[in-house]
Structure 1
Amino acid sequence: MNNELKERFPEIAILVEEPLTNYTFTKTGGTADLLAFPKNAEETKALVDACRELAIPWMVLGNASNLIVKDGGIRGLVIMLTDMTEVTVEGNLVTAEAGAKLIDTTYVALDADLTGFEFACGIPGSIGGAVFMNAGAYDGEISDIFESCDLLLASGEIKTLTKEDMAFSYRHTAVQDMKAIILRARFRLAPGDHEQIGKRMTELTDLRLLKQPLEYPSCGSVFKRPKGHFTGKLIQDAGLQGLKWGGAQISEKHAGFIVNVDNATATDYLELIAHIQAVIKEKFDVTLETEVRIIGEEA
């Protein structure tokens, strides 16, 4: 399997038995049998077509920011789209390839004097990942500005989904129920004042630096916000803030984050998540659902 894909696609960077700790924002996770970095939609489609022909399992990672890869790693081919980063502007429409960083895309919008994307200026993920999970922050989310996206289906077909097709809800989209890769997305923005847009982005960036534990590796916000509650406050009120579990710790700066303070493993993260869920359920009868995506195999 390893040699066949590498020999078939010499133009694509394909790594063998690659530790995913090198790519995940938590700095945890096992190895991928194969890790590929296609440069465009055509190469991505060629990889998926080859996997279907050779019966090789595959999956796609975005910027690996809001996920945990289990310590057993991932079998088959992992596709990372971090080389697909083109962002273009036509009128009020911003089109971004899936691997473009969300933060970079918000600055392209700023340069074009377009407003609506400011909420995302501090979210560290990729466009594909942000669309996949309807990412949001500071009273804004992707669904507010989404126009359409192009998907590569497991069958090899490329399909365009509209906003209605996406069935957006809190941190959920229809793509999560499909075996597909988001190749690019389009966002409908509005003309705005450059100075005001920049000022708002600076405010949100400063707020993120002040409130979030950016000095440590983490997967961002771990849990979805339960209706009628704030996750961080629940964890604080339960007396859990600062708790260490192996090398992982509930952040002392923001209780909704789990940070890697001492060579944590993915298992440390998962056990701490389960402990938090159990304590919050017992103390407050509130069920915490994970926002972070958990993938891979047990060690």
Structure 2
Amino acid sequence: MKMQPAFQRFVNGIVRQTDCNQEERVDLYDELLSHLECAFIDYKKQGYSEEEAIRTAMSNFGTEQEIGKQLQEAMYPYRKGMMLALSIVSLLFAYSVYACQLFIMGDAHIPWLILAVLISTAILFVTVRPVTSLNRRLWMNSLLLVHLVVFFYGLLLATDLLRPYSTGLTIIALILIVLSIILVYRTTIYDFPSERQLLRKDAKRLHFINITTGIFIVFVTLFFLWAFLWFAPAGSPVFLILLIPIGSWILSYTLQMVLLAKQKKTWAYAIVFLQTAIIMAAIAFWFINIF
């Protein structure tokens, strides 16, 4: 049977309301189109004209916005609410820290405020107005990781405030960081699995290990970077050495995913094992020298 262009436009409008990856979009599109075509056939059998059957089938199906919203909530429950909460509370936190610094401490970090507002606004925008042409997983994770870095620094700023302001804002900062971490795990492992990845279970394991080690590496690197910038002479380029662990982790993570996509999972696991072993050795070395 010839597909109705009106149905195709209607279904495309519904699918655009969701955050599916390309593979899921195709499946969802085919399923919805099949339902409409079946309804169209039923109405034709009941004596409806072709135009009436098309209009009635779409009318009884619901509006694009309603169906898209329902599908989005069913496929990704609570994620939109979590993203909205993260972005809005982050904005409030940023302005609160800035106000406390400015009016109580007398010295505010304007560059941090600008970064915090920009990243929070970006997360709010992609949550409220998703851009379907973008790689959702890549953009969401990039924003969340930048958010982690910016608000980890915000946590340090909050702890430096006078009490009782520091206590409340520190707790809020910790909640924001934990929520960002949860969303990174969820976005990478559950919400947007790669349609190119055939070994899904192995991919989830490697994502989990790499995200965990990556968060650890980023936080440790930021801590030492903060200490270095605090005590080192201004303009010293030596701090760039501290960024090597992050660069190595990104390279290792990317290589693992490429190998897994080529179904060379033995090599992918070998790399993640080596990466984890190096991190554990570094931690052990640090503890031995400290204690």
Name the TM-score, length of structure 2 as normaliser.
Answer: 0.27
Tell which structure's C-alpha radius of gyration is larger.
Answer: 2
The answer to which structure has the higher strand fraction is: 1
Which structure exhibits the higher relative contact order, with contacts defined as CA atoms closer than 8 Å and separated by 6 or more residues? 1
| Structure whose residues are more often helix by fraction | 2
Q: TM-score, normalised by structure 1?
A: 0.27
